[in-house]
Amino acid sequence: MIVTEGLSKRYPGVTALDRLTVSIGPGVTGLVGANGAGKSTLIKLLLGLAPASEGTSRVLGKDSATEGAAIREQVGYMPEHDCLPPDVPATEFVVHMARMSGLPRAAARERTADTLRHVGLYEERYRPMGGYSTGMKQRVKLAQALVHDPRLVLLDEPTNGLDPAGRDEMLALIRRVHTDFGISVLTTSHLLGELERVSDHVVVIDGGRLLRSEPIGGFTSSTTTLAVEVTDSDTHPSGATALHDALVTAGVTVRREGGQLVMVDIPPGEAGDRGYDTVRDTITDLGLGLVRMEQRRRRIAEVFSTRADGATADPSHPATPAPAAPAPAAQEGADRRAE
């Protein structure tokens, strides 16, 4: 769907994209990066709306630098910022956008009605958009990106400004764009957790550079996390601390979470079997009681907050600062708190 090679964009004093080489296939792809990471810039370059400083990009096999108009015929774009004329009803606006994309009048009206219904706008579509809530405006922006039946849509921060329920609805809609209509999606967000829920593939950029590009499973399934809770004993007044320290000594990757929980990384395959045995034997050797031991799928944010040197992020054992955990995970924490 999308291939970039050494793609860079420099503004005076700012390198917005820095030699980005990435390829994106069909399905739903999440493009994650902190504010200013270069997400919007990448989308504009892909659509041929801004020239690259160097490097190339192709969308659906077409060159962004020379075939921008042909790309935009087959690609829908939902911009980040509010761009809706306040005194125009949604239905009129979306028909206009459909006509701009080359649909004949009758087809434009028909597609507009279908698309607005699909995004969940009914009677409101006849009212001027100035009176719409943020959620309704985001839906109109999505509808105009879909109205000409594109093969691919590029969505820039589609959940921006939405409350948690509105975000859930928008994420479900995005997923359905692919499952119901077979349209591939590239959607940006600075929230890893959001994209984890809808994406088949995630691309992470930071400071205009590629950090990772992997199928969602690659982020979360290479390791299983085991949440273990043990009792305290007379010998070990904090059973969790004793277990944590003993497992670290045994060479197991482990961290503490929320008081009594000890989170143990279990690698796949035979090493994993040995990992389970080590946890069981360590608990027995310490003479602790086992309260629970359960498997957890790791969330992307956790993968990013794990220190790159493999050391544990144990809140009870503050260590030297971790080497750059990419900003998106931290940003997500901030957003969660804000919520």
Ligand X SMILES: Nc1ncnc2c1ncn2[C@@H]1O[C@H](COP(=O)(O)OP(=O)(O)OP(=O)(O)O)[C@@H](O)[C@H]1O
The site for ligand X (CB under 6 A) is made up of 11, 14, 16, 33, 35-41, 80, 157, 190
Taking the complex as a whole, the smallest distance from the CB of residue 207 to ligand X amounts, in Å, to 9
- DSSP of 42-80: HHHHHTTSS--SEEEEEETTEETTT-HHHHHHHEEEE-S
Q: Which is nearer to ligand X, 13 or 310 (CB)?
A: 13
Q: Which is nearer to ligand X, 20 or 140 (CB)?
A: 20
Taking the complex as a whole, the smallest distance from the CB of residue 135 to ligand X amounts, in Å, to 19
Q: Where are the alpha helices (DSSP H) in 182-262?
A: 192-198, 216-220, 239-249
Taking the complex as a whole, the smallest distance from the CB of residue 240 to ligand X amounts, in Å, to 39
Taking the complex as a whole, the smallest distance from the CB of residue 301 to ligand X amounts, in Å, to 18
- Buried-exposed string 194-212: b where 16+ CB fall within 10 A, e elsewhere: bbbbbbbbbbbbbbbbbbb
Helix (H, G, I), strand (E, B), or coil: what is residue 2? Answer: strand
Taking the complex as a whole, the smallest distance from the CB of residue 144 to ligand X amounts, in Å, to 20
Q: Which is nearer to ligand X, 49 or 84 (CB)?
A: 49
Taking the complex as a whole, the smallest distance from the CB of residue 129 to ligand X amounts, in Å, to 22
Q: Which is nearer to ligand X, 187 or 225 (CB)?
A: 187
**213: phi then psi, degrees, rounded to nearest 5:** -145, 110
Looking at the chain, which runs of residues are DSSP E strands?
A: 2-11, 14-24, 28-32, 54-59, 62-63, 75-78, 152-155, 184-189, 201-206, 209-215, 224-230, 254-257, 261-266, 290-296
For the chain, give me the number of helices (H) and strands (E)? 12, 14
Q: Which is nearer to ligand X, 154 or 242 (CB)?
A: 154
Taking the complex as a whole, the smallest distance from the CB of residue 49 to ligand X amounts, in Å, to 11
List, in sequence order, every residue forming a beta bridge with 14; answer none if it has no partner. 11
> Could you give the CA distance from residue 39 to residue 17 in angstroms, rounded to a whole number?
9
Token pair 């007379």: residue:
234
Q: Which is nearer to ligand X, 232 or 335 (CB)?
A: 335
CB count within 10 Å of CB 150 equals 22
Q: Which is nearer to ligand X, 89 or 328 (CB)?
A: 328
Taking the complex as a whole, the smallest distance from the CB of residue 142 to ligand X amounts, in Å, to 17
| Joined tokens for residue 29 | 């792809």
Taking the complex as a whole, the smallest distance from the CB of residue 138 to ligand X amounts, in Å, to 15
Q: Which is nearer to ligand X, 21 or 241 (CB)?
A: 21
Query: Which of 197, 188, 148 has its CA nearest to residue 169?
Result: 197
Residue 127's contacts (CB-CB under 8 Å, 6 or more residues apart) are 89, 90
**86: phi then psi, degrees, rounded to nearest 5:** -65, -25
Q: Which is nearer to ligand X, 154 or 288 (CB)?
A: 154
